[in-house]
Amino acid sequence: MRIEAELKLDFQDVLIRPKRSTLGSRAEVELSREFSFRHSGAAYRGVPIIAANMDTVGTFEMAGALARHRLASALHKHYGDSQLIDFFGGLADDATVFYSMGITREDYEKFRRVKEEAGDAIGFVCVDVANGYTKAFVDFLQTLRAAYPRVTIMAGNVVTGEMAEELILDGADIVKVGIGPGSVCTTRKMTGVGYPQLSAIIECADAAHGLGGLICADGGCTSAGDLAKAFGGGADFIMLGGMLAGHDECMGEVVERNGERKMRFYGMSSRAAMDKHAGGVAHYRASEGKEVLLDCRGPVDATVQEILGGVRSACTYVGARKLKELSKRTTFVRVARQLNDVFGQS
């Protein structure tokens, strides 16, 4: 047993210090980024925000809505072969949509079948597991990269620099960062395992960028200000679940409570998800997610505009004309947790 005493920070532990700016308006801020991926060699241009591959968020409808704003989506894993083939067959050339998969033989064979039919329309893949530290995960990543050298691969989740480096060297173009910070994730409570998300982003970004790789901050963002902090900490992409949940484009079940319409939203390791997709919680594991009811929020467009407006505003406060400049112009100021608790700040 050992204890690391170095300070680790979460989004609520810091604020961004304002700096002198020559920007006259939020409208002057450019939020699009351009990337060239280390392994696939593919080029990307768009707003680097991705809808999470949760079955209530990562839907065909969400992908279509976000593409209008140049945002990306990661589809959930539970669509059938024919549905995926039809979707990718009609995908616009400028849309960024990730095919999501696990690491079982069945996952690989399903991807092989769909990719064979859809061809180059599938250019982005998200290899998604809760624990990215296992040998099985690394072996699968190496196999996938060898078989599909021109596909851009996002893989995770991890929270430490050394593992981010390993995944990049093993074939990941983008490393997905985050264990336990999601609003409907209970991994930290059930296992005691995790890492404060802002420090995970900072450390993994530093490691990944040194090798020409990128990172995607996955989980923990509950406001536009959290996205600004994640980008300021070095995140190249940000994946959102709860902030995009509850909208018309989601697939959560709608119920009525006290005369109000609510939508079910749950983590993909929750009992609700495992009952739906795996026939229940296996005897050897525990649920590591929860289910909540959210207000039905209508079309996602208004929420997207609010998120993008908040990030643009953050850029104006520090004088960043482009999103890519935000991390260079960010200085974090630590805030006292006890004051947050007393005054209810976040």
Q: What is the DSSP string of 178-204?
A: -SS-STTB-HHHHH-----HHHHHHHH
Give how far Cα 158 sits from Cα of 9, 13, 38, 323, Å.
16, 21, 19, 24
Element (DSSP H or E) covering residue 316: helix 301-318
Q: Of 29, 4, 15, 6, give the one whose Cα is nearest residue 324.
A: 29
Tell me the pLDDT band of 5, cut-offs 50, 70 and 90: confident
Mean pLDDT of 56-63: 96
Mean pLDDT of 299-306: 97
Query: Which amino acid is residue 171, in one-letter code?
Result: G
Mean pLDDT of 11-21: 96
Mean pLDDT of 228-236: 98
- Is residue 216 part of the annotated active site? The answer reads no
Q: Of 184, 166, 158, 144, give the one whose Cα is nearest residue 52.
A: 184
Mean pLDDT of 336-346: 54
Rounded to two decimals, the pTM is 0.91
Q: Compute the mean pLDDT over every residue in the chain, rounded to the nearest whole number.
A: 90
Residues contacting 43, CB < 8 A, separation 6+: 34, 35, 36
| pLDDT at 24 (0 to 100) | 83
Residue 342 confidence (pLDDT) above 50 = no
Q: Which of the pair, 2 or 39, is modelled with greater confidence?
A: 39
| pLDDT at 306 (0 to 100) | 97
Task: Report the C-alpha gap between 47 and 94 in whole angstroms.
Answer: 12
Tell me the pLDDT band of 346, cut-offs 50, 70 and 90: very low
Digit-coded pLDDT (tens) for 78-125 = 999 999 999 999 999 889 999 999 999 999 999 999 999 999 999 999
Digit-coded pLDDT (tens) for 270-293 = 455 555 555 555 555 555 666 777
